[in-house]
Structure 1
């Protein structure tokens, strides 16, 4: 299937999920810079964040300081995150991308957005970078080291975290659950990394299953792809990405998010946002900064990715202009916020509250420019729904 037709099918397929919103002819080609649906960014606010009219920010937590009203000291290098509904409130979980202690922290909110608790859900792991939420209410925290593991954690902290070796031992980045087909997708953060899927023997139980790798030509950017079983998921002595000769290589896999029949994932080495549609076993490019007019790329350093209830993609930058950019359902790319005075950091962990009105994210190294300077923010405003 050609890229034009594939992407049109992908976005129209999502219309029912987003309440009938039509994508029109969005993604007829890779997304291009254009005006933001929220308007231009204003001068930096008191937190150093440039936002559109009608939006505001607040600091939720700072590394090494107690989260307000709690006894939990926020962890260093906050990275990937997600929100989970908690009665009328919600929980935001956040990885800690540091060696040896790593793990996951969580902040609990009530229906008004007031912080009611903060705590650890995983400790003693190694460079927990990104991950993904499951439909059964757990957070998968991924270690970004050679032979790294995936840990299934409880956002409420009531149950101990469990390692899931069946998902492979490699330099994990992010993962996304596909309840429509019963798969998990996983990215690998190496220049010759692969894109994986895991087929659990029983949906909802990650203790056993089949790990597969996408196959295809390394230079393929659209059309049909294949899948092949990884013979030895523990990755020793041969790394998982080297076990299947036909495996398709991706340059630095980063964020991953599944919605509306499509798995969206990013590769930082070539500044691309990909779309994989399992129904047709196809891939396509949703964004490629080399395919926009020279000097106009607003989205560079692509990293974590999430999706709003309106069907818009939000991509955080590792570098670039320290922005979170929107890729609209009309295939336009524009910044929706910019963090100033923190050029030595990166933006991580974008996730919407269940009602879609609040966006959480972190500046991993903050103004200090090191892992002990992390800052986690909340942005509230009229996000599209």
Structure 2
């Protein structure tokens, strides 16, 4: 059954907005292959240097070191992982800052009205280190993850409140997080060449101050069954969390993480793969592998952050490659959705849809300058299928 069929059922059952979405579980016969994108070929670069399909437009939302238009708040350096939250008739976009605490690391938010115009912006986390990716929770907090040795997960409050470290979620080189409200767990990726895939089981759902950290246990292949085992010492010292459980499966550079409708996807940058975990069946397989693409040059390389649409499409940003965001469709085809030109020393990150699903936010971490102070956050508007 195609992913879209599962997704529709999930959205109707949950009654959620498009952005919180429910991608569906797919039964892949093989990893995604080259196909025609759902919106057609990319046109010439627009005034912002972005190649988009017909009917789509881009705008600059914020630039590092400059005030967000309509506000007095100066946007942070090196914008990275992000997410959107419904806010009345408008929404909030949050973004991490992947620099050290002394250089302004942490996270910020921008509030938009119903027309997509910024009305406010502010800092929601300060003084932390290399906040790369993260994930939103069903209770409207943003988990901002430190990509450093013995890094922490910080729970932040886009609607107001003081950020708090959540050490029970493990001390390791954190990347992304994704909430599973069915099993009441948070999935976590680790950006090491021999990183692991974890889940955190809170003692009480909605409260991340205590709970159990577990690691995925499976064979060394690219498909099969999996289970979970408790990590004895989540503090990761003196023994790293990834080395504490025999039989835990290693992943080459864990990056993005996305959950929807009994499925979780993760990306691994070291081998340009997207992995798919069927949580109901406790099986895993490859949703994409650039080394298994036939019939042409693999369109997606440098896989990084990942998000999904209400239709069931996966959007994967590149750290390198052709500076593209690629789409993997429910019928397992992969194609470029957009390409940023003239920014070869940057990376794309933080893709997230607004609640209506007609705007896609993302950042170029180092922009045209190639420096963390040159980051640019964009919004693409158009006829996304929903």
Per the normalisation by structure 1, the TM-score is 0.95
Distance 1:16 1:363, change over 3 A: same
Q: What is the distance in 1 between the residues matched to 2:23 and 2:241?
A: 40
Distance 1:351 1:209, change over 3 A: same
Aligned residue runs from structure 1 range 78-227, under 5 A: 78-100=79-101, 101-156=104-159, 158-218=160-220, 220-227=221-228
Q: What is the distance in 2 between the residues matched to 1:229 and 1:23?
A: 28
Match of 1:276 in 2: 277
May I ask how many residue pairs the two structures share in their alignment? Answer: 376
2:10 aligned counterpart, secondary structure: coil
Return 5+ residue gaps in structure 2 as ranges: 14-21
Q: What is the distance in 2 between the residues matched to 1:287 and 1:260?
A: 19
> Retained in 1: the 8 A contact 2:81–2:95?
yes
Match of 2:45 in 1: 44
> Retained in 1: the 8 A contact 2:51–2:339?
yes
> Retained in 2: the 8 A contact 1:32–1:332?
yes
Distance 1:106 1:217, change over 3 A: same
- What's the CA shift for 1:17? 2.3
1:213 aligned counterpart, secondary structure: strand
Match of 1:307 in 2: 308
1:16 aligned counterpart, secondary structure: helix
Match of 1:3 in 2: none
Deviations 1:338-370 (CA, angstroms, capped at 9, x unpaired): 000000000000000000000000000000001
> Retained in 2: the 8 A contact 1:75–1:105?
yes
Q: What is the distance in 2 between the residues matched to 1:26 and 1:59?
A: 38
1:323 aligns with 2:312: no
Deviations 1:131-176 (CA, angstroms, capped at 9, x unpaired): 00000000000000000000000012x2000100000000000010
> Retained in 2: the 8 A contact 1:104–1:141?
yes
- Give me the CA root mean square deviation: 1.8
1:252 aligns with 2:245: no
Return 5+ residue gaps in structure 1 as ranges: 1-7
Q: What is the distance in 2 between the residues matched to 1:70 and 1:15?
A: 38
Match of 1:379 in 2: 380
- What's the CA shift for 1:261? 1.1
Deviations 1:2-45 (CA, angstroms, capped at 9, x unpaired): xxxxxx48665334125699989873211001101100000000
